[in-house]
Amino acid sequence: MADNENYEYYERLKRELIAKIGRTMESPIDFIYLANAINSESKEQISETTLKRFFGYITPAGAPRTSSLSVMARFLDYSGWKTFCEGASESKFLADKSISTSDLQPGDSIRFEWKPDRICVAEYLGENRFLVTQAEKCKLEVGDQFTATQFLLNNPLMLCDLKQVRLPNAAPKSYVAGFKTGLTALSLMKK
């Protein structure tokens, strides 16, 4: 794409699209999947060829059209391309429902969910550390440990210092649950 002025916005749009659909955008089927998702969810038409050009899978003919960018932005729940670009600097109040580690005792558990159908239950170990005790349809596994300080409904959850049980010698990672839509359910289970 020749439009260097909007490069950062394009890259952010790509990341948000990838996060929403959970695809790598590395094969033709990924572009068909995304086009179908946009067309069915937003009731707006965008072609897989337009998406391939935007992601650089095929050589773009120039900067993407604003109308195509707006269709993709609306799929991500923005009102259009301009709002998407302004979204990087928007402010908002955080969730009404939250759980802070300062309110927990070791042995308490938090159940949190995010789209699509991801479920995790984590037991509080103390000092902001959690142990995953249940994990469904997500990249977290039973036995993983992470650090978190606050869980906010309708907001992404940042898990820091993630130590994965299946990669015992790997360096700790960070992981975001609900990157685009945030946590869809949140509950506390006292010990």
Per-residue pLDDT tens over the stretch 48-61: 999 999 999 998 87
How does pLDDT run across 173-189, given as a tens digit for each residue? 888 898 877 899 999 99
Domain check: are 127 and 54 in the same one? no
pLDDT at residue number 109 = 96
Q: Does residue 25 come out as left (phi exceeding 0), alpha (psi in the -120 to 50 range) or beta?
A: left
For residue 163, give the H/E element and its range. Answer: strand 157-163
Question: Domain ends where: 57, 87, 117?
Answer: 87
* Beta strands 150-152 and 98-100, pairing class: antiparallel
The answer, as to whether pTM is greater than 0.75, is: no
Contacts of residue 40, defined as CB under 8 A and 6 or more positions apart, other chains included, come to: none
Q: How far apart are CA 128 and CA 96, in angstroms?
A: 21
Domain check: are 70 and 122 in the same one? no
Domain check: are 58 and 110 in the same one? no
- Quote the domain boundaries for residue 109: 98-189
| Residue 31 lies inside a defined structural domain of this protein | yes
DSSP bridge pairs for 31: none
- C-alpha dihedral sign at 58, 34, 112, 156: positive
Counting the structural domains of the chain, the total is 2
Question: Domain ends where: 35, 67, 87?
Answer: 87
